[in-house]
């Protein structure tokens, strides 16, 4: 079960390392699947050799399409194992696996499978790059990624961005954003949040008083104080600050942010607070919003299902069911279709109803 803050101290993902893993056999299986031998004995033989996930998986490939073979293999390997398959594919065939997948697959299914093949850091880097390149900015992507990542994830993303694009992620974000929204994004990009877990009761009280003085107690808002405290203090510390703040202000920190701040800056600070309270609940809310009503925010759906599949997808499913009284699995099933749907359901990992 989740703690009262919705946090766990261990991974609760739906995707784990496959046993008896053989990167070379998997690379050959993918190569043959993309050559169009999905219904023949060669692919089944290769999949059996790699001892992937048992008889059920092989049976699926024997009766399914090439895309199904690719789907089942990719979603039954961890990201680290997928990186080994990419290397084995190049060693065996002198070709780039991601390039071949882009060529063979199409649409949202292609986007999802190709995204699964990237490391988490490079996937985050690409999401940020896509959010700021060209005309317009996808502020919601910037908010989601930067509000939810820990220090190591931030540092890895910054390095991946530099390697992939030959540019500094901070410079690109500064060029594409403005005001207090930009300042808070830059603070989060430093990846310097206290992660010690040590809590100073006096500092908790001081921070709560400072936040109250910066907002509810005065005419106008001292945004810099909100940025400094919410951008740097530890999550454990801030949960205690929020409790102390509510006693002082007689309102929640969320309600104060809604009344004192506005626009993208307000949305960013609310996302930070939600992540501090419970990262799984934050993503449960994001997933629900991506699918409710007409149309689907596929970029958001893909990004979250990929990035949380090895971290806390089971927790997200639990939060989703508790908040919306329906399962994430069934909402995905009702809102998507085809191989795209099947891949998302594999990442979801099961139904909670």
Q: What percent helix, strand, coil does the chain show, rounded to 5?
A: 70, 0, 30
Q: Is the domain covering 279-348 a CATH 1.10.220.10 domain?
A: yes
* Residue-level pLDDT at 134: 82
- For residue 335, pLDDT over 80 is answered with yes
* Mean pLDDT (whole number) for 207-229: 85
**Does the annotation list 335 as a binding residue?**
yes
What is the overall mean pLDDT for the chain? Answer: 90
Which H helix or E strand runs over 206?
A: helix 201-214
- For residue 50, pLDDT over 70 is answered with no
**Does the annotation list 210 as a binding residue?**
no
201-277 CATH choice from 3.30.70.1520, 1.10.3720.10, 1.10.10.60, 1.10.220.10: 1.10.220.10
Confidence of residue 37 (pLDDT cuts 50, 70, 90): very low
* Mean pLDDT (whole number) for 303-326: 97
**Does the annotation list 64 as a binding residue?**
no
* Mean pLDDT (whole number) for 206-213: 95
- For residue 58, pLDDT over 90 is answered with no
Tokens of 61: 């490939």
Fold for the domain defined by 23-104: Annexin V; domain 1 (1.10.220)
| Residue pair 4/322 in contact by the 8 Å Cβ criterion | no
Contacts of 236 (CB under 8 A, 6+ apart): 197, 199
Show me where the domains of the chain are located.
23-104, 120-189, 201-277, 279-348
65: closest CA among 26, 108, 96, 34? 34
Same fold, 120-189 and 201-277: yes
120-189 CATH choice from 1.10.220.10, 3.20.20.70, 3.40.50.300, 3.90.320.10: 1.10.220.10
* Residue-level pLDDT at 39: 42
Q: Is the dihedral of CA 18, 308, 163, 99 positive or negative?
A: positive
Give the position of tokens 């199904």. Answer: 68
Confidence of residue 66 (pLDDT cuts 50, 70, 90): confident
**Does the annotation list 291 as a binding residue?**
yes
């Amino acid at each position: 079960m989740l703690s009262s803050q919705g946090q766990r101290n261990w991974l609760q993902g739906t995707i784990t390392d496959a046993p008896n893993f053989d990167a070379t056999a998997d690379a050959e299986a993918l190569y043959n699947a993309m050559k169009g031998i999905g219904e023949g004995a060669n692919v089944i033989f290769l999949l059996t050799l790699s001892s992937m996930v048992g008889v059920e998986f092989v049976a699926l490939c024997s009766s399914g399409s090439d895309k199904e073979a690719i789907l089942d293999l990719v979603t039954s390997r961890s990201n680290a194992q997928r990186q080994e398959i990419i290397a084995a594919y190049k060693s065996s065939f002198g070709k780039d696996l991601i390039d071949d997948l882009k060529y063979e697959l199409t649409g949202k299914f292609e986007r999802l499978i190709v995204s699964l093949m990237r490391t988490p850091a490079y996937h985050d880097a690409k999401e940020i790059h896509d959010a700021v390149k060209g005309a317009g900015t996808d502020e919601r992507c910037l908010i989601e990624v930067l509000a939810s990542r820990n220090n190591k994830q931030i540092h890895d993303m910054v390095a991946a961005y530099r390697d992939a694009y030959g540019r500094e992620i901070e410079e690109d974000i500064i060029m594409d954003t403005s005001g207090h929204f930009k300042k808070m994004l830059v603070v989060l990009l430093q990846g310097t949040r206290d992660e010690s877990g040590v809590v100073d009761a006096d500092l908790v009280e001081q921070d709560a008083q400072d936040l109250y003085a910066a907002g509810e107690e005065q005419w106008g808002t001292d945004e810099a104080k909100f940025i400094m405290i919410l951008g740097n203090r530890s999550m454990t510390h801030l949960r205690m600050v929020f409790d102390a703040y509510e006693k002082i202000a007689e309102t929640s920190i969320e309600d104060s942010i809604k009344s004192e701040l506005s626009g993208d800056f307000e949305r960013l600070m609310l996302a930070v607070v939600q992540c501090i309270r419970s990262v799984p609940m934050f993503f449960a809310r994001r997933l629900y919003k991506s699918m409710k009503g007409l149309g689907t925010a596929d970029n958001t759906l893909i990004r979250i299902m990929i990035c949380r599949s090895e971290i806390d997808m089971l927790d997200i499913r639990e939060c989703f069911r508790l908040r919306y009284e329906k399962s994430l699995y069934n909402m995905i099933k009702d809102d998507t279709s085809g191989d795209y749907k099947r891949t998302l359901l594999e990442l979801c990992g099961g139904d909670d109803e």
